[in-house]
Amino acid sequence: MLGQDFVLALLQSSITGAGLVLAIYTLILPLSRRFLEERARMTLESLEKLKQRVSEIEIETPIDTKKLEALINEFQTRQSYPAYLSLGIAITFLGYLASALMSVGWILSEDKASTFYDQWLPIVFIGTTFLFLGIGILSINDISQTMKKEFEKLKKETAKPKGKD
């Protein structure tokens, strides 16, 4: 059976987690244009590589067909909108909300020995937290790559000699 202090801690952590999910989304939003432009550029580069490799591959065996399918799958993955920015964040946010509502349900429940809350509340919270960890890592990686590209552009711009007006 879960203790009241533990459930209250999960309630507080769930509400904080939901807020952090929104904060990550808010952090990515101002960078989204640059991030998506970079992703589009990488997609075009992947398309060019795909075209080049397709012209080099002779489809004579099933292995050649599998190589071609792998290249197409790689291109399609880069071409799509990152799933963690839509579905992943939505599931994480809803998971934390479910955890918070389950905590409130446990508190309001007259049967504190309810096996439903005792079994599912920790699982929902822990699962959502691991999903949040994954989204955080992916977000930090994408933001870091975008910032590095921006920094390289700035370095090139500042290295150019200034023309006299």
CA distance 10 to 16: 10
Indicate the average pLDDT of the chain.
Answer: 82
Question: What average pLDDT score do residues 72-81 get?
Answer: 69
Of the candidates 120, 81, 89, 72, which has an alpha carbon nearest to the alpha carbon of residue 26?
89
Of the pLDDT bands very low, low, confident and very high (cuts 50, 70, 90), residue 77 is low
Q: What is the pLDDT of residues 79-106, one digit of tens each?
A: 667 777 788 889 999 999 999 999 998 8
Compute how many other C-beta atoms are within 10 angstroms of the C-beta atom of residue 70. Answer: 11
Of 165 and 70, the structure prediction assigns the larger pLDDT to: 70
What is the pLDDT at residue 72? 74
Calculate the CA 11 to chain-centre distance: 24
Residue with more model confidence, 156 or 46 = 156
Domain boundaries, the chain: 4-157
Does residue 146 have a pLDDT over 60?
Answer: yes
68 Cβ neighbours under 8 A, 6+ residues apart: 54, 57, 59
